[in-house]
């Protein structure tokens, strides 16, 4: 497709209004990593989010340049988070890499963020020195920790800082009863529901999830997780899926999970 035509189409997408009656969403789990920049240019990525009715998005990337590109293009839409990874393949090595820590500290001095993460840590690795320093940096800069972790690691992070605020990526891929128990113990724990397709089956919310969402309607958020470039093609489809099951909740709970909880935790920042 000619570049001029691509530009026109992207412009049309950017100007497309939210459909009448369509529920606005805050997507609390978006990545715009280096391998997505060519296949989904910045303007197109912003357009896809807006076309999907996403009015705000928590974005982190490998490297952070992707987040900064989106934030520069749409500061009203993007809530920047600092992911420690500079490239793919660092999901486990970052825990013991001093260069990662130096990178994070340098970016924090240079840019503004609302969160640290998404980062991956499980079990006792949460007590490693570099992870402990991340918790300290989150406290120092007033940031939320976006942790892709099991329940054990989340508990360890809270032991390091009982006042930490943690967004639990994918609700830890834990069972609803495990999530419930941890949320009852930790009032500063929120969870995004990216990749939790077990929440709604066949268009209906799973009973165990519905009771959990209604017990903690102020602690959950929706998310897509564009962890591969291909996932950018599914942003609209995922938003439609989320709206479908949200519509089966009481209106106030649905509004909180769709947007309000994330807006409260991640207010916009100026450039």
pLDDT for 12-49, tens place per residue? 444 444 554 689 999 999 999 999 999 999 999 999 99
Check pLDDT > 80 for residue 86.
yes
Average pLDDT over residues 209-224: 98
Average pLDDT over residues 147-156: 98
Residues 6+ apart with CB under 8 A from 239: 25, 27, 52, 53, 54, 224
Confidence at 202, pLDDT banded by 50, 70, 90: confident
Whole-Å CA distances, 192 to 29, 58, 102, 117, 127 = 7, 11, 28, 13, 23
Confidence at 125, pLDDT banded by 50, 70, 90: very high
Contact 252, 210 (CB under 8 A): no
Residue with tokens 């009203």: 76
Average pLDDT over residues 46-57: 98
Does this model's pTM top 0.75? My answer is: yes
Contact 80, 67 (CB under 8 A): yes
Taking only the tens place, the pLDDT of each residue in 252-266 is: 999 999 999 999 999
Q: What CATH architecture does domain 25-265 belong to? A: Alpha-Beta Barrel (3.20)
Confidence at 173, pLDDT banded by 50, 70, 90: very high
10 Å Cβ neighbour count for 141? 15
Residues 6+ apart with CB under 8 A from 184: none
């Amino acid at each position: 497709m000619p570049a001029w035509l691509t530009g026109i189409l992207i412009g049309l997408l950017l100007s497309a209004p939210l459909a009448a009656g369509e529920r606005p969403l805050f997507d609390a789990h978006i990545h715009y990593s280096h391998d997505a920049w060519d296949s989904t240019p910045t303007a197109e990525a912003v357009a896809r989010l807006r076309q999907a009715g996403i009015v705000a998005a928590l974005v982190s990337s490998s490297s952070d340049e992707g987040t900064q590109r989106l934030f520069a293009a749409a500061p009203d839409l993007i809530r920047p988070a600092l992911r420690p990874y500079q490239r793919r393949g660092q999901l486990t090595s970052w825990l013991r890499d001093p260069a990662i820590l130096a990178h994070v500290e340098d970016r924090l001095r240079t840019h503004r963020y609302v969160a640290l993460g998404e980062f991956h840590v499980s079990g006792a690795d949460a007590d490693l020195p570099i992870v402990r320093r991340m918790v300290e940096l989150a406290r120092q800069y007033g940031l939320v920790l976006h942790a892709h972790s099991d329940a054990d690691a989340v508990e360890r992070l809270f032991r390091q800082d009982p006042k930490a605020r943690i967004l639990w990526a994918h609700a830890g891929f834990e069972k609803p009863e495990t999530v419930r128990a941890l949320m009852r113990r930790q009032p500063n724990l929120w969870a995004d529901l990216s990749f939790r397709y077990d929440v709604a089956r066949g268009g209906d919310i799973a009973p165990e999830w519905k009771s959990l969402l209604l017990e903690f309607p102020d602690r959950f958020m929706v998310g897509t997780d564009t962890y591969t470039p291909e996932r950018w093609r599914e942003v609209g489809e995922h938003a439609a899926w989320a709206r479908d099951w949200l519509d089966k909740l009481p209106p106030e709970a649905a509004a909180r999970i769709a947007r309000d909880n994330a807006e409260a935790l991640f207010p916009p920042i100026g450039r």
